[in-house]
């Protein structure tokens, strides 16, 4: 099967993923919506087909937190599609206010399972169709949340990823989300090196606060729901980030860039200084041109890589 460019977008039923699916469909791509709730996603699929006038919008089941679901998704995809041009790891787990330790079906902390291990395994299992594209591009949805690592004391909590300290340390999905997104950026850098010989580019986008979908808001506790509704009054629509996904994954000017973190303006974010003066530190934290130096720590990158490769073998 090969008459148009193919893109997979995880979490394409809601928020930024949904806007991105619409953007790629309007541009004539064959869009594969990788979603965990098929019944809720069918109406979105239909809406995208009607709005874009493009019938080539498929819906495939994927629970990114489950290794067996990822294997099943990738095998189904490979049976139908020969080639993959764009792979957008957009779906993520974050549920504000959750304080009870969350484990995936494979017994790894849920943010790490969904936001790091899942995307890594999925990419690995899709290497064959990606290699067949002449300009394959992978994009990871990172977050401004990683700015918390400008605090030199902040480190990824590697020793509590299977609930080792679940009864002794306070758990916050927000903290684990930030750790998993930093790990995702580190994995991006390492994966970009690994995929150089295949000419497959891998980048990450640092997404700032953006309007949250009604579906996600409805799933929050009353207090977080109210806060999310209020925040939505000030935050931009998901379409802005979706356009950024589209540009990074298709525009000629990004064709030879790999292993980078981009900001919403499409600029490469640079490594911050590890011991900045207070003014530079303020610029690093509040601007969108620097990322925390911690992201370049080779030992931590290696630790993230070993975590991904170990779990992908389960
Ligand atoms: N919005 C922001 O302010 C913001 C800021 C920084 C970064 N980001 C990042 O941008 C990306 C999109 O965010 P968003 O605001 O559009 O979020 P969203 O509207 O809440 O959408 C998240 C999507 O991920 C899916 N998902 C979650 N867990 C999954 C799993 N285990 N398997 C398959 N799909 C799963 C959800 O599916 P269901 O509908 O079935 O739950 C939903 O489709 C995320 O990576 C997020 O971390 C967002």
* Substitution candidate for ligand 1 out of 15, 210, 212 with most atoms within 8 A of CB: 15
pLDDT (tens place) for every residue of the chain, 314 residues total: 346 899 999 999 999 999 999 999 999 999 999 999 999 999 999 999 999 999 999 999 999 999 999 999 999 999 999 999 999 999 999 998 899 999 999 999 999 999 999 999 999 999 999 999 999 999 999 999 999 999 999 999 999 999 999 999 999 999 999 999 999 999 999 999 999 999 999 999 999 999 999 999 998 989 999 999 999 999 999 999 999 999 999 999 999 999 999 999 999 999 998 888 989 889 899 999 999 999 999 999 999 999 999 999 88
Q: How many alpha carbons lie under 13 Å from residue 247 in its C-beta half-sphere? A: 14
Selection from 36, 38, 57, 40 nearest residue 48 by Cα: 57
Q: 16 CB less than 6 Å from ligand 1?
A: yes
> If you measure from the C-alpha of residue 95 to the centroid of ligand 1, how many angstroms do you get, rounded to a whole number?
10
Q: How far is the CA of 213 from the centre of ligand 1 (A)?
A: 9
What is the whole-number distance in angstroms between the Cα of residue 20 and the centre of ligand 1? 12
Q: How far apart, in whole angstroms, are the C-alpha atoms of residue 263 and residue 109?
A: 28
Verify whether ligand 1 is closer than 6 Å to residue 141 (CB atom). yes
The whole-number pLDDT of residue 4 equals 86
The number of the ligand 1 atom at minimal distance from the alpha carbon of 94 is 47
**Ligand 1 centroid, distance to 166 Cα (angstroms):** 25
The DSSP code for 290 is: E
Q: How many helices (H) and strands (E) does the chain have?
A: 12, 9
Q: Is 166 helix (H, G, I), strand (E, B) or coil?
A: coil
**Ligand 1: which of 92, 106, 108 to mutate, judged by most atoms within 8 Å of the beta carbon?**
92
User: Whole-angstrom Cα distance, residue 193 to residue 189?
Assistant: 7
Note the pLDDT of residue 16: 98
pTM over 0.95: yes
What is the model's pLDDT at position 3? 61
CB distance 216 to ligand 1 below 6 Å: yes
Q: Which of 36, 31, 35, 30 is CA-nearest to residue 21? A: 31
Q: What is the pLDDT of residue 122?
A: 98
Between CA 17 and CA 214 the distance in angstroms is 14
Q: Report the DSSP beta bridge partners of residue 103.
A: 109
H/E element holding 89? strand 86-89
Lookup: tokens for 29: 């791509």
Report how far apart, in Å, the C-alpha atoms of 52 and of each of 4, 18, 23 are: 15, 13, 8
């Amino acid at each position: 099967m090969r008459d148009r460019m193919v893109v997979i977008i995880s979490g394409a039923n809601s928020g930024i993923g949904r806007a991105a699916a619409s953007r790629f469909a309007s541009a004539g791509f064959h869009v594969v919506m990788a979603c965990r709730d098929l019944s809720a996603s069918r109406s979105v699929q239909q809406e995208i087909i009607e709005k874009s006038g493009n019938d080539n919008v498929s819906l495939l089941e994927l629970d990114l937190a489950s290794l067996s679901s990822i294997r099943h998704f990738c095998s189904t995809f490979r049976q139908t599609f020969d080639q993959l041009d764009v792979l957008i790891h957009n779906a993520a787990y974050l549920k504000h206010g959750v304080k009870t330790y969350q484990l995936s079906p494979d017994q790894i902390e849920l943010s790490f399972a969904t936001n790091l291990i899942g995307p890594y395994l999925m990419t690995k299992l899709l290497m064959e169709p990606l290699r067949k594209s002449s300009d394959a591009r992978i994009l990871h949805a990172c977050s401004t949340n990683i700015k918390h690592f400008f605090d030199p004391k902040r480190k990824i909590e590697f020793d509590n990823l299977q609930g080792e300290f679940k009864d002794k340390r306070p758990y916050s999905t927000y903290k684990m989300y930030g750790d998993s997104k930093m790990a995702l950026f580190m994995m991006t850098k390492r994966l970009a090196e690994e995929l150089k010989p295949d000419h497959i580019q891998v980048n990450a986008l640092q997404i700032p606060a953006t309007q949250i979908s009604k579906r996600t808001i409805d799933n929050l506790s009353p207090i977080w729901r109210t806060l999310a509704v209020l925040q939505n009054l000030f935050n931009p629509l998901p379409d802005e980030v979706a356009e950024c996904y589209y540009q990074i994954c298709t525009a000629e000017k990004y064709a030879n860039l790999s292993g980078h973190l981009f900001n919403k303006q499409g600029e490469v974010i640079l490594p911050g200084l590890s011991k900045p003066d207070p003014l530079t530190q303020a610029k690093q934290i509040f601007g969108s041109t620097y990322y925390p130096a911690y992201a370049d720590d080779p030992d931590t990158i290696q630790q993230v890589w070993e975590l991904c490769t170990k779990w992908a073998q389960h």
